[in-house]
Amino acid sequence: MESLRLYLNGLPPTEQERFALRCGTTIGYLRKALSLRTIMNPRLCADIERESGGVVTRMDLRPDDWHRIWPELAAAHPERVPAEPTGPAAEPAKAA
């Protein structure tokens, strides 16, 4: 999410507003999401990537699960796919 913060901070305030509108949201929502480290909707992530010209990527915005949402990215960037947890903590809980 730091890439989004840096990208927005590099824009004048009026362009920040326009960017957010092109992404289908508001600058207020983006700033709040950054502040609270909110996990953004996949569609918004794709819109941000598109409207930033790829400066801010879906992988940046969803670092823990992008490879599950966009498998085509995982195929194109296998070196960036996070390792899956292993061991007892990674196993699903059994019903009682």
- The pTM assigned to this predicted structure is 0.82
Domain 2-72 has CATH 1.10.260: yes
Tens of pLDDT, residue by residue, the chain (96 residues): 899 999 999 999 999 999 999 999 999 999 999 999 999 999 999 999 999 999 999 999 999 999 999 989 888 888 888 887 665 655 665 555
CB 40 within 8 A of CB 33: yes
Specify the pLDDT at position 93: 58
Domain ranges of the chain: 2-72
Q: Retrieve residue 13's tokens.
A: 């305030």
Plot region of 93 (φ>0 → left; ψ -120 to 50 → alpha; else → beta):
beta
Phi, psi of 20, deg, nearest 5: -60, -45
